[in-house]
Amino acid sequence: METRAIDWWVGIFVLLGIAALVVLALRVGNLSGFAYDSGYVLHADFTNVGSLKTRSPVKIGGVTIGEVTHIGMNPKTYMANVTMRIEPSIKLPIDTGASIYTQGLLGEQYIAIQPGGMPQNLKSGATITMTQGAVNIDQMIGQMVFSKAAGSSKSSGSQ
């Protein structure tokens, strides 16, 4: 085979390898910064974010419309402050609510947005005020066991 042709093929081969690495890094790994880069920013304060992480999805009715970009702590209110980036085509009314739910029993946590009905929309950098934090299953089981125990002791006392 001609040397020039070999050089071409080897060049293409190396480029293919680099391209594969770049695609792996951006599409498979979490190095992609441009997924929702063009989106606008919203904040929300939660009492408890559970195991929400950066890059967790933000959804309306199960459809992903953005992602969590930062989770911090508000030092004045001691609330967890979540920053998220929303797709620019999705406009949210100002009475929109946000809750943290879990996908299935063991799945990842995500932010579910409940859109409101007001005519004005939230602007970039605005804060969602109506929030509901992650449900702590341990706490719920504890409460249930406690109320059950209290109920049964009351009924045994009346007999």
Binding footprint of another protein on the chain (CB under 8 A): 1, 3, 6-7, 9-10, 12-14, 16-17, 20-21, 23-25, 27-32, 53, 55-57, 64, 103-108
Residues 6+ apart with CB under 8 A from 122: 42, 91, 92, 93, 94, 96, 128
Chain-centre distance for alpha carbon 146: 32
Nearer to another protein, 26 or 126 (CB): 26
Identify whether the C-beta of residue 47 lies closer than 8 Å to the C-beta of residue 77: no
Chain-centre distance for alpha carbon 7: 47
Q: What is the side-by-side strand order in the sheet with 130-132?
A: 126-128, 40-46, 79-86, 63-74, 57-60, 109-114, 97-102, 130-132
Residue type (1 letter), 55: R
Nearer to another protein, 15 or 149 (CB): 15
Give the nearest distance from C-beta 60 to another protein in angstroms.
13
Nearer to another protein, 45 or 57 (CB): 57
Give the nearest distance from C-beta 44 to another protein in angstroms.
20
Nearer to another protein, 52 or 128 (CB): 52
Give the nearest distance from C-beta 61 to another protein in angstroms.
13
Give the nearest distance from C-beta 90 to another protein in angstroms.
15
Give the nearest distance from C-beta 89 to another protein in angstroms.
16
Chain-centre distance for alpha carbon 129: 17
Nearer to another protein, 31 or 137 (CB): 31
